[in-house]
Amino acid sequence: MKIDILKKLMFTQGVTGREKAVAAVIREIAAPYADEIKSDALGNLIVLKKGSSPEPKKLMFAAHMDEIGFTVTFIEEKGWLRVSNIGGISWAAAAYSQVTLPSGAKGVLVPESGVGAGDYKADKFVVDIGAKDRKEAEKKAKVGDFFSVNPSLTRLGGRRYAGRPVDDRIGCAVLLEVLMTAPSFANDTYFVFTVQEEVTGSGAKTASFGIAPDYAVCCDVCGTGDTVGATPMAVKLGGGCTVKVKDGSVICDPEFSDLLRAEAKAGGIKYQDEVLVGGGTDTRDMQTAGLGCPAAAVSIPTRYIHTAVETFDLGDVEAAVSLLSRLCARKLD
């Protein structure tokens, strides 16, 4: 895995509904490898690699470009910005974070004084951008601005890294690496970098409707059971990528998922079976668009999802790249 590409993706802000900058970075990297590349009405970036086999089937991969964040709802007379969440924000995780507004202005996201962590919710938070009053604040911010907690990427040790937004720039990086390095493409393979997964899944839904894939695979993050105090879950960091059985929004196609497991075994690729109790992914929207298709998902085990310290193991990421590359080479019927 090319860490510099992942880092570039992570350090480009793309809150749900505002993914254009991320799409531009991906387009530039993908263009030399693509047979066709286009953006659709919602802003999904669709990269096609044509299949070499006769009458190739359509295989669609999806990873979402958007990240959770915030929007400005009101500017107080004293210059504080009131905020609301875009996607599944943990206010405990977001408290006392540094943020950057679309104007480039820096701020800190803080709870109101005296509010205990147990009472954290959207209307108890403000952004302090260092403005002395509303007039000064309005020079740097406006109602409806979207922004997120500042990006970071730190190597913890060995092959483990922590930072944000890993969800789901890591999936985007996996798809890019497959596009750039897979030795062959038997099927018409659509690499789709989707919008708005964190709120509605509308990007995957409309892209799938347009492509009408025969098979679909989502690449996103999934939780793990190996943190202190974690709910028991048979997924751990360093155990390989996962092949999803189900999550909170989808039950994956068992035969197509078994085909992925068989490819992993044949290639000596480490994988784990994933049953994610909560959470949803683009998998559901690909499975149910149009007349529907067999859908599966390959996830990157990630600790502390939706915080500023999302933690992953590079070995698991490489396993996902290897597995999806093998799938690209296999002619699907």
Residues acting as catalytic residues: 197
Least distance between Zn ion and beta carbon 168 (Å) = 4
The site string for Zn ion over 111-150 (x = CB under 5 A, - otherwise) reads ----------------------------------------
Residue 109 or 166: which CB sits closer to Zn ion? 166
Residue 67 or 177: which CB sits closer to Zn ion? 67
Q: Which member of 66, 67, 177, 220 binds Zn ion (CB under 5 A)?
A: 220
Q: What's the rounded Cα separation, in Å, for the pair 132 and 29?
A: 42
Least distance between Zn ion and beta carbon 42 (Å) = 17
Least distance between Zn ion and beta carbon 287 (Å) = 16
DSSP type of residue 263: H
Residue 127 or 308: which CB sits closer to Zn ion? 308
Residue 60 or 141: which CB sits closer to Zn ion? 60
Q: What's the rounded Cα separation, in Å, for the pair 106 and 99?
A: 6
CB-closest chain residue to Zn ion: 168
Residue 73 or 152: which CB sits closer to Zn ion? 152
> Which tokens belong to 237?
């960091």
Q: Is 168 in the site for Zn ion (CB under 5 A)?
A: yes
Phi, psi values for residue 203, rounded to 5° = -65, -50
Least distance between Zn ion and beta carbon 14 (Å) = 12
Q: What's the rounded Cα separation, in Å, for the pair 67 and 69?
A: 6
**Dihedral in degrees, nearest 10, Cα atoms 132, 135, 136, 138:** 130
Question: What is the identity of the amino acid at 211?
Answer: I
Q: Is 66 in the site for Zn ion (CB under 5 A)?
A: no
Least distance between Zn ion and beta carbon 89 (Å) = 14
What DSSP letter does each residue of 159-189 carry, written as one string? TEEEEE-HHHHHHHHHHHHHHHH-S---SEE
Query: By CB under 5 A, how many residues form the interface with Zn ion?
Result: 3
Please, which residues have CB within 8 angstroms of residue 32's CB and are 6 or more apart in sequence?
none
Using CA atoms, how far residue 24 sits from 18, 32, 62, 176, in Å, is: 12, 14, 17, 13
Q: Using the rule CB under 5 A, give the single segment among 17-25, 132-140, 213-221, 246-254 that binds Zn ion.
A: 213-221
Q: Which member of 19, 67, 145, 167 binds Zn ion (CB under 5 A)?
A: 167
Kindly list the strands in the beta sheet with 310-313, ordered across the sheet, starting from the edge strand earlier in the chain.
152-157, 160-164, 310-313
Q: Using the rule CB under 5 A, give the single segment among 93-101, 214-222, 266-274, 323-331 that binds Zn ion.
A: 214-222
Residue 168 or 253: which CB sits closer to Zn ion? 168
Phi, psi values for residue 61, rounded to 5° = -105, 145
Conformation bin of residue 109: beta by default, left when phi > 0, alpha when psi is -120 to 50: beta
Q: Using the rule CB under 5 A, give the single segment among 113-121, 147-155, 172-180, 220-228 that binds Zn ion.
A: 220-228
Q: Return residues touching Zn ion (CB under 5 A).
A: 167-168, 220
